[in-house]
A and B are shown apart, each in its own frame.
Chain A
Amino acid sequence: MDAKLKLALEKQAVEIRKDIVTAVHSAKSGHPGGSLSLADTLTYLYFYKMNVDPANPQDPDRDRFVLSKGHTAPGLYSALAEKGFFAKEELLSLRKTGALLQGHPDMKHIPGVDMTTGSLGQGISTAVGMALGGKISGKSFTVYTALGDGEIQEGQVWEAAMSAAHYKLDNLVAIVDNNGLQIDGKVSDVMSVYPIPEKFEAFGWNVATCDAHDFDSIHEAFEKTNEKNGKPWVIVQKSVKGKGVSFMEDKAAWHGSAPNDEQYAQAMAELDAVAKELEAK
């Protein structure tokens, strides 16, 4: 990947991480861990890969993104706000009474949200439906959907995986955010989902893998998905839950809890330091 572009994406990702931490801190609840693990991928999608326009969020030809792991809404909202779909101030009202930004993504009211999600396993099915709609309408848009690694314990994910391959939907790209943790602990302890790439391969998918916190690696994986061979794509990305905030990293406890004032100050100081470092490059 072009070094200038990579630096721009890295800078953008730090801003999105700051937004995530700020929104969850303001809400006093929410899901920072999985939002931070997906932050670089969301940055790549909304600031490089996807054809979306904040001025025309309902464009029928736009690419779509379905956050199947809907609880990491703070990540999606931060990316959408940074992209200009709505004012950044909205992030401060996350989860509050009367707020635009609901606890989980709400397509009816939030500009840029392509599907209402939150109940795990359901988002990927709707993404398959969108991709099918694109195919039979002769449209060339791509549908992206992000799943948690714990989420793929849901049986519906595999019903959806089977159908995407059956309908030959090569306009569909699923991302499995493999941070290895879910609410109750390690995915491998709670209910192992491994091996992930082999499972999707057996279901008839093309598989790519990447380091979820290295834009070169992300770019390489997504470039592969440009190849259309009649099979859907899955990118299994190795990520770190809570990535970018030292005390949140790789801790299941940060799946669904908000930082207190002191923790918030520390998180922002760490992210600001990274931003400064990148600015100096």
Chain B
Amino acid sequence: MSDVKIATRESYGNALAELGKLNPDVVVFDADLAGATKTGVFKKAFPERHFDCGIAESNMVGLAAGIATTGKIPFVSSFAMFVAGRAFEQVRNSVGYPHLNVKIGATHAGISVGEDGATHQCNEDIALMRTIPGMVVINPCDDVEAKQAVFAAAEHVGPVYLRFGRLAVPVVNDENYKFELGKGVTLKEGNKVTLIATGLMVARALDAAKELEEKGISTRVINIHTIKPIDKEIILKAAKETDFIVTCEEHSVIGGLYSAVTEVTGLECPCKVVPVAVMDTFGKSGPAAQLLDVFGLNAETIVKKVMENL
């Protein structure tokens, strides 16, 4: 892990601008948040292909659905709360049901939004998006993965939900990393316990694994960047080869990674799965780094959960 920290929303904006150079069909929609979602980087490079929809997310999703039928590849952006939450039904009926080639770049996901507080902290987006048939859901862990995920989303034909964060997070992957849609990544081998993490919790799971190894507990760490379709094979292997699993996510314990993992194990290899997540509660205001501690989304909690369940 390098010392460099980059918010994945920055990675998103930069990747879009690169993608725009390679693919003239890429168009970007934003809802008066181009500065915050970082689609402003694309706007600067390709003003004729960037459309500000104003503060009207439902309409924005409809515009993207319509333009996708004319052969364009639209990326629509807003905060996760507003594009997955407010516009859920538009995503479901205008994009998901007709399986249109729309990419949703949702930023400011989870409680790491920070000071804006609960109204803007979306801990439900993975759950919402995961229930839409045919929707791909990706939650990248760092800058390297986020950029590659944007390119993978553009290549995939069909709707994709990309989840990005506001907080600068450590870069976990090196330049040789290759993102494969739907394929989990084993970051560290181990045979006693498996930490399955997504998004910014991947770096925290690696920190926890280091501490656990110091305690003599062999810890496997898996990065699940694609929550749908989920990599069943890597999860079942962990379920069989280690005593139990701890899932780590900056999302509600209901409907996110914990649910997705237990859906796999419950059917094919029942085992103990312990959640580290937002425990069915709303967020609150505060600096993001502090909030992650307040809500137990840190290495300390992961270590504690492992020790309790040994």
Q: Which residues of A are interface residues toward B (Cβ below 8 A)?
A: 60, 64, 66, 106-108, 114-116, 118-119, 121-122, 124-134, 136-137, 139, 155-156, 159-160, 162-163, 166-167
A114 and B106 CA atoms in complex are apart in Å by: 27
Contacts of A126 in B (CB 8 A): 62-63, 65-66, 69, 94
* Most A-side CB within 10 Å, residue of B49, B64, B72, B98: B98
**Interchain residue pairs with CB less than 8 A apart (8):** A60-B70, A60-B71, A107-B69, A119-B93, A126-B94, A128-B59, A130-B66, A162-B59
Do residues A163 and B56 form an inter-chain contact, with CB atoms below 8 A? Answer: yes
Kindly identify which residue among B62, B72, B97, B99 contacts A156, using a CB–CB cutoff of 8 Å.
B62
Do residues B94 and A116 form an inter-chain contact, with CB atoms below 8 A? Answer: yes
- Chain B, residues 50-61, CB within 8 Å of chain A (1/0): the string is 010110101101
A118 and B94 CA atoms in complex are apart in Å by: 9
Do residues B65 and A129 form an inter-chain contact, with CB atoms below 8 A? Answer: yes
A212 and B54 CA atoms in complex are apart in Å by: 34
Secondary structure of the A contact surface, majority rule: helix
Q: Which residue of chain B lies nearest to A124 when distances are taken between CB atoms in the complex?
A: B62
Contacts of A166 in B (CB 8 A): 54
Total interface residues in chain B, CB < 8 Å: 29
Contacts of B93 in A (CB 8 A): 116, 118-119, 122
Contacts of A115 in B (CB 8 A): 65-66, 69, 98
A114 and B64 CA atoms in complex are apart in Å by: 15
Do residues B54 and A156 form an inter-chain contact, with CB atoms below 8 A? Answer: no
Given contacts A108-B99, A125-B59, A163-B54, 17 further A-B contacts (CB under 8 A): A60-B70, A64-B69, A106-B97, A106-B98, A107-B98, A116-B94, A125-B61, A125-B66, A125-B90, A126-B65, A129-B63, A130-B66, A131-B66, A134-B70, A136-B48, A156-B90, A159-B54
- B231 close to chain A: CB less than 8 A: no
A104 and B289 CA atoms in complex are apart in Å by: 48
A125 and B53 CA atoms in complex are apart in Å by: 11
- B89 close to chain A: CB less than 8 A: yes
| Given A133-B70, A133-B71, A125 contacting B54 (CB threshold 8 A) | no
Kindly identify which residue among B53, B68, B89 contacts A163, using a CB–CB cutoff of 8 Å.
B53
Contacts of B89 in A (CB 8 A): 119, 122
- Shortest CB–CB separation between residue B72 and chain A, in angstroms? 5
Do residues A137 and B71 form an inter-chain contact, with CB atoms below 8 A? Answer: yes
Kindly identify which residue among A116, A124, A136, A159 contacts B97, using a CB–CB cutoff of 8 Å.
A116
Do residues B70 and A130 form an inter-chain contact, with CB atoms below 8 A? Answer: yes
| Given A119-B89, A159-B56, A125 contacting B70 (CB threshold 8 A) | no
Contacts of B48 in A (CB 8 A): 136
A163 and B54 CA atoms in complex are apart in Å by: 8
Do residues A114 and B69 form an inter-chain contact, with CB atoms below 8 A? Answer: yes
| Given A122-B90, A122-B94, A133-B71, A167 contacting B59 (CB threshold 8 A) | no
- Which residues between 77 and 105 of chain B lie within 8 Å of chain A, taking CB atoms? 89-90, 93-94, 97-99
Do residues A130 and B69 form an inter-chain contact, with CB atoms below 8 A? Answer: yes
Contacts of B58 in A (CB 8 A): 121-122, 125, 155-156, 159
- B264 close to chain A: CB less than 8 A: no
- Shortest CB–CB separation between residue B266 and chain A, in angstroms? 31
- B67 close to chain A: CB less than 8 A: yes
Do residues B62 and A160 form an inter-chain contact, with CB atoms below 8 A? Answer: yes
Do residues B66 and A127 form an inter-chain contact, with CB atoms below 8 A? Answer: yes
Q: Which residue of chain B lies nearest to A116 when distances are taken between CB atoms in the complex?
A: B98
Do residues B98 and A128 form an inter-chain contact, with CB atoms below 8 A? Answer: no
